[in-house]
Structure 1
């Protein structure tokens, strides 16, 4: 099955989260394209990296502008965030989330059209770029993702990433939203932040400058490989930050859903 075809399992989880459009009786206009077909168009863009205006309408996705508007509206309604929480809760109920540790890191992508949340990248000759900041559990499942300018220091997003972890349900007791320990490379080597992580009840395992990066670095590197396997995320083409963030959150949902599929 093509990766942009929405499976029944994913659609059953997503459909109840989509906002309902008000029906117009006096001037109904053209019938709106079904949400599932539009989602297939969005996934086609995410997987292939094609520009919106070149989206092949003969595949039944509708126009690129229709898909763009739905992506924008669903992101504003918090659909992707709620879907991610639903998927994390199912993984947690199956004891497939490793709360004993989490791993953080960032990755730079070039931003050809600039826009908000971009900046001169110190690793790309000062060209405009953005950073994807990611935190995963011990298995590499995305817990939260943030978008900043390419010139933002990694350590400044350490606490915002921890705050962005949603309350994960699925087990008896209170929802969980913090791991036991946190692993990071030398870019996060600041004692002030270590102390702030400890104050949250999390043991920091952050590499010191002049030492090796750390034992679990491969976990986050594999997660970034999964994330950037979606071609639309390898280069930031969107001028608007919220559209690129929508793609990021949707990609995290798809990666998390793959983890659920592996249980079957």
Structure 2
């Protein structure tokens, strides 16, 4: 983070302290307020400019990946949760599909897909359109993982996904759908631990900036989700 801080030049207005900008960003994450409301910390244009620079540099994803490199336990879980899009979240370049916004029965939504460890801490986070089926993003969540049990609900009960887990050296703990002619078995005792990933989403959505999407750009919203995930590791 320090390498992206602005060094004083000796002329003009002194740069805003990084700590003050971080406090402002955490305030916006918690309150879901407008950028202009952050003027109580520093000029809101300065805060947004620095936020934009850090997002383009991938700072939040890098910090999150560093903290999540040592997950615990053998029982990991995947799930997805919808986030309603505020009217201020529309208008991003590339259109709604490109910005992971689609209409569902509950309105315009974005989905957060997550892989969590046995303590309910996020390991990997992805965004998807609100009407995209959960299992379509599952391969990206488990990519690069091995030697774990993956707990998931019936939405992830597909032959293709089960084969992928087997190829990766992962064990599926997924209850079969009711229409299965030959339902696969699963460990009901392990499956009881799936609530950890639901607890993960509950903690993420305690932040108003996550429970509703105010960001026009998917990459900026994912950056805020990553910032929220960082706080769960600290």
**Taking structure 2 as the reference length, what is the TM-score of the superposition?**
0.84
CA offset at residue 30 of structure 1?
2.8
More relative contact order, 1 or 2 (CA 8 Å, 6+ apart): 2
- Given the alignment of the two structures, is residue 205 of structure 1 paired with residue 173 of structure 2, yes or no? yes
Q: How does 1:87-126 map to 2 (within 5 A)?
A: 87-89=67-69, 92=70, 97-112=71-86, 113-114=89-90, 115=92, 116-122=99-105, 124=106
Tell me the matched-pair count: 216
Where 1:47 maps in the other structure, the secondary structure is: helix
Of 139, 157, 173, the match for 1:159: 139
The runs of at least 4 consecutive aligned structure 1 residues that moved more than 6 Å come to none
CA offset at residue 142 of structure 1?
0.6
Task: Give 1:63's aligned residue.
Answer: 43
The structure-2 alpha-carbon separation of the partners of 1:138 and 1:41, relative to structure 1 and needing over 3 Å to count, comes to same
Where 1:225 maps in the other structure, the secondary structure is: helix
CA offset at residue 179 of structure 1?
4.7
What CA distance in whole angstroms lies between the structure 2 residues aligned with 1:120 and 1:247? 22
Task: Give 2:56's aligned residue.
Answer: 76
What CA distance in whole angstroms lies between the structure 2 residues aligned with 1:141 and 1:179? 18
Task: Give 2:150's aligned residue.
Answer: 182
**Is the contact between residue 107 and residue 131 of structure 1 (CA under 8 Å) also seen in structure 2?**
yes
CA offset at residue 216 of structure 1?
2.2
Query: Residue by residue, what CA displacement relative to the aligned partner does 1:218-239 show, whole Å, maximum 9, x if unpaired?
Result: 1111111110011111110111
Query: Residue by residue, what CA displacement relative to the aligned partner does 1:134-186 show, whole Å, maximum 9, x if unpaired?
Result: 110111111011111101110011011123x7xxxxxxxxxxx5451111001
**Is the contact between residue 6 and residue 15 of structure 2 (CA under 8 Å) also seen in structure 1?**
no
Of 192, 207, 211, the match for 1:230: 207
**Is the contact between residue 52 and residue 68 of structure 1 (CA under 8 Å) also seen in structure 2?**
yes
Unpaired segments of 5 or more residues in structure 2? 93-98
**Taking structure 1 as the reference length, what is the TM-score of the superposition?**
0.75
Where 1:208 maps in the other structure, the secondary structure is: coil
After superposition, the CA RMSD in angstroms is: 2.3
Query: Residue by residue, what CA displacement relative to the aligned partner does 1:174-200 show, whole Å, maximum 9, x if unpaired?
Result: xxx545111100111101111011101
Unpaired segments of 5 or more residues in structure 1? 1-14, 166-176, 258-264
Task: Give 2:95's aligned residue.
Answer: none
**Is the contact between residue 8 and residue 15 of structure 2 (CA under 8 Å) also seen in structure 1?**
no
Where 2:169 maps in the other structure, the secondary structure is: coil
